A and B are shown apart, each in its own frame.
Chain A
Amino acid sequence: MSSEHPPVGDRFRRFRDGVAAGRDGGAVESAPGGGAATPAGRAGPDDRGWSPGSRRGGRGGEELRVPEAEFVSYYGRPVLKPPVWHWDIAAYLFTGGLAAGSALLAAGGQLTGRPALRQAGRVTALAAVSASTYFLIHDLGRPARFHRMLRVAKLTSPMSMGTWILAAFGPAAGVAAVAEAAPLLPERGVLGLARRVLPPVGHVAGLAAAATAPALATYTGVLLADTAVPSWHEAYPDLPVLFAGSALASGAGVGLLAAPAAQAGPARRMAVAGAALELTAAHRVETRLGLVSEPYHIGRPGLLMRAARVLTAAGAVGAVVGRRSRAVSALAGAALLAGSVAARFGVFYAGVASARDPKYTVVPQRERVERQREAATRSGD
């Protein structure tokens, strides 16, 4: 039993205090979380983090009110287990996409003779893919057993596929980045040989990384969608597109930050394309899914999704209008990166919220059952 487990009777005391408070304040109007009463009976975004009860974000914001669903649950408990993944998986989604976007940028720079894009892209790709590997391993319940992922390759497990994609991308990105150090080596001796060999090796590696990059950026959409989490699963047609756009936009952001105006042209176009993909897919996710779109609008996930929209759009506009100004370009690049972060965290926590509230599990399934029942009776007549 874990040492942080609360003392026996703790939950009961919280329950009793809560009931007492509720009685004084009238029926449902109090729902203290861990003893601290929150106003108006809503579970605020308290220490429980991204609770689906934090609806206030949606109130002031836009008018998306899916009519309050009538449904039954077992004491309001979630039907599903909410993902046990922590914020590191959201960070993993971002860094993986950033690595993919930068690798594409680097390869483009390499093939069209834009050394600034190549350098920045390769270095970022290595840093980002290292970070994403760290996040992925760090989130495991048993990090030391990471290598168990490598004992099988399973098409039905996106995580297995992703591990292998990462295993192909990582070393290639690493070699490409190391090759950038060639000019720093002395001209003679063994290191001098390395100095001459590294650039061509780096070219091959850079192209290999770019070839696997689209898979790295898009498989994460399948990773989230291939779960029972309602707001992820139902979004399966759009999540890979959203993540692909977000990856392009973040890669372009790196280019805008790092390259002088003369070389940044492709990064600008990539920014616009990425932002367009990301915004379209996000719009579809937020509007097309009926009730399970709701978690993308309310609470902190909703805030993040709105922030992502504003930042990404601003970044794309800045990329276009700032073609003469290094400062505006850099700002646009930063906005694109921040937008990509917000989009990943927004999608991640919207899914978590949808698994925590039984409404999102029960209502759509109940409707499906009723529809089938109706169809059956009609065809039975």
Chain B
Amino acid sequence: MLPDPNSLAGPLDPAPEAGWSAAPPRMGFFTDTSVCIGCKACEVACKEWNDVPTSGLDLLGMSYDNTGALTANSWRHVAFVEQPRPAGHRTPPFAGNPTGGTTSPSSAAVGATTADPVGTEPGVPTGSPEAAARMSAGPEFLGMPGAQPPGRATGAESRSDFRWLMMSDVCKHCTHAACLDVCPTGSLFRTEFGTVVVQEDICNGCGYCISACPYGVIDQRKDDGRAWKCTLCYDRIGAGKTPACAQACPTESIQYGPLEELRERAAARVATLHERGVPEARLYGHDSNDGVGGDGAFFLLLDEPEVYGLPPDPVVTTRDLPKMWKRAGVAALVMAAAAVAAFVGGSS
């Protein structure tokens, strides 16, 4: 049943493992956030091509990010990190230097409570005001995004140093995808390109994948009940085309191609950036020895992953599944033994 010793965790080529013979090379995304300009063309192109419903129009008080998060109705999400600290390229290396917050405590706290009642209403997942306030730093309230960068409008005394980080987030198409592993209907499947896709005609909306994804990507569409996420444009890449977001990206921040090639390109890009004095550039999700066996969609980041809302060290939950079944087996035996003992031991 489980042929490859790495079938639950560790480096692996997922398409042959899933039973594809003569699979094409694994395809993926490399998202280089150092050139992202936050135009959101990827978000728009994705919605257009994949016919994704609207996420609602609103202002969230999170810099220029009014999408909020990856959800059932947002398969690309551009994150904006706005911080009162020296701009990116002069930022000292992370080591020993705590990362600043992204906004003032009060606006963060309030922003978190403007989220919708239950978890994953398209657009905004519920945040925790305390957590929001805790993570923020810097005394000034940045206010709603205006036409000018915040802090510039009201005179020199209110000016401060800023950095803006922008990052287009997407489903990671994990080598070991927890969503796929736990799906009880077989709706989620591994394509010949090594990507992970939901078949909407099979999904019954059990929601298991949503709790299983270590990145919080896949989500239930509320008025529909089923789970939705990025397909890495399965229809387009099957026809030899580039996914809509990568096609639309004006700065080539989103690059699409064979994963091997992308990994080489990414390593070269990091080296270049380090040479040019951007020591904080680092790759995320490129390592096939990480907790999910490497991501099919990986990133170049300019700060720690959690600054962008990414988990610092995600692990596929099914890595521990054999141990879990073992514990359940032991518990079941103990339970049976206790029941037997209750009836045979004792006189009454």
Q: Which of A323-376 contact B (CB under 8 A)?
A: 323, 355-359, 361-362, 365-366, 368-369
Contacts of A196 in B (CB 8 A): none
Tell me which residues across on chain B come within 8 A of A156, comparing CB atoms: 8, 181-182, 318, 321
Q: How far is the CA of A265 from the CA of B341 in the complex (A)?
A: 12
* Bound complex: CA A238 to CA B327 (Å): 8
Give bound CA distance, A132 to B115, whole Å.
Answer: 32
Given A81-B210, A157-B183, A215 and B332 contact (CB-CB distance below 8 Å) = yes
B21-29, B32-40, B301-309 - interface stretch: B301-309
The size of the chain A interface, using a CB distance under 8 A, is 125
CB-based contact A241/B120 at 8 Å: no
* Bound-complex Cα distance A236 to B326 (A): 10
A369–B313 contact, CB under 8 A?
Answer: yes
Interface status of B271 (Cβ within 8 A of chain A): no
Closest to A351 in B: B211
In this assembly, does A214 line the interface, its C-beta being within 8 Å of a C-beta of chain B?
yes
Q: A81–B204 contact, CB under 8 A?
A: no
**Number of inter-chain CB pairs below 8 Å:** 415
Query: Per-residue 0/1 for B210-232: is the Cβ within 8 Å of any A Cβ (1 yes, 0 no)?
Result: 11111111111011111100000
Question: In angstroms, how far is the closest chain A Cβ from the Cβ of B185?
Answer: 4
Partner-contacting stretch, out of B50-58, B146-154, B261-269: B50-58
In this assembly, does B328 line the interface, its C-beta being within 8 Å of a C-beta of chain A? yes
- Contact between A359 and B129, CB atoms less than 8 A apart: no
The answer to whether B309 and A74 touch across the interface, beta carbons within 8 angstroms, is: yes
Q: How far is the CA of A67 from the CA of B61 in the complex (A)?
A: 29
Instruction: Determine whether the beta carbon of A77 is less than 8 Å from that of B184.
Output: no
- Using A43-B113, A247-B335 as known contacts, say yes or no to A269 and B341 having CB atoms under 8 A apart: yes
Q: Is the CB of B223 within 8 A of A357?
A: no
Do the beta carbons of A244 and B335 come within 8 Å of each other?
yes
Q: Is the CB of A15 within 8 A of B110?
A: yes
A residues 276-293 in Cβ contact with B at 8 Å: 277
B312 touches A369 (CB 8 A): yes
Q: Is the CB of B317 within 8 A of A233?
A: yes
Asked whether B186 lies within 8 Å of A73 as measured between CB atoms, the reply is no
Q: Are A159 and B182 in touch, CB under 8 angstroms?
A: yes
Knowing A214-B332, A266-B346 are in contact, say whether A74-B116 is a contact too (CB < 8 A): no
* A residues in contact with B215, CB < 8 Å: 79-80
- Is A124 an interface residue, CB under 8 A from the partner? no
Is A14 a contact partner of B114 (Cβ separation < 8 A)? yes
B318:A226 contact, CB within 8 angstroms: yes
Is residue A47 within 8 Å, beta carbon to beta carbon, of the partner chain? yes
The reply to whether A28 and B113 form a contact with Cβ atoms under 8 Å apart is no
What residue in chain B is nearest A76 (Cβ atoms)?
B132
Contact of A228 among B214, B226, B330 (CB under 8 A): B214
B257 at interface by CB-CB < 8 Å: no
Interface of B is mostly: loop
Interface pair B61/A81, CB less than 8 Å apart: no
**A85: nearest chain-B partner, CB-CB:** B207
Nearest-CB residue, chain A, relative to B119: A82
**A94 within 8 A of partner (CB):** no
B347 within 8 Å of A (CB atoms):
yes
Q: Does A248 contact B (CB under 8 A)?
A: yes
A77→B125 contact, CB < 8 A: yes
Per-residue contact bits, chain B 117-151, to A (CB 8 Å; 1 contact, 0 not): 11111101111111111111000010000000000
Is B239's CB within 8 Å of the partner chain A?
Answer: no
A8 at the interface (CB under 8 A from B): yes
B250 contacts across to A, CB distance below 8 A: none
B117 near A47 with CB under 8 A, answer yes
Check B341 against A228 for contact (C-beta < 8 Å): no
Q: Which of B141, B226, B314, B346 contacts A269 (CB 8 A)?
A: B346
Closest CB-CB distance, A174 to chain B, in whole Å? 21
B58 engages A12 (CB within 8 Å)? yes
Contacting residues, chain A, for B122 (C-beta < 8 A)? 1
**Which residues of chain A are near B331, meaning CB under 8 Å?**
214, 218, 221, 240-241, 243-244
* Cα distance A218–B329 in the bound complex, in angstroms: 8
Residue of B nearest to A212 (CB): B332
B131 touches A358 (CB 8 A): yes
Please name all residues of chain A whose beta carbon is closer than 8 Å to the beta carbon of B111 when the two chains form the complex: 15, 75-76
What are some 19 contacts across the A-B interface (CB < 8 A)?
Answer: A5-B56, A15-B59, A31-B133, A47-B117, A49-B118, A77-B68, A80-B311, A81-B125, A108-B343, A218-B335, A222-B328, A225-B320, A225-B324, A226-B320, A228-B211, A244-B332, A244-B334, A270-B338, A277-B334
Complex A-B, nearest 3 residue pairs according to Cβ-Cβ distance, in ascending order = A141-B205, A76-B132, A141-B225
Excluding A3-B223, A141-B206, A148-B202, 19 further A-B contacts by CB distance (< 8 Å) are A11-B59, A12-B61, A52-B130, A73-B309, A75-B112, A76-B127, A76-B129, A77-B68, A79-B216, A80-B215, A83-B119, A142-B204, A142-B205, A142-B225, A152-B184, A157-B181, A221-B331, A273-B338, A356-B119
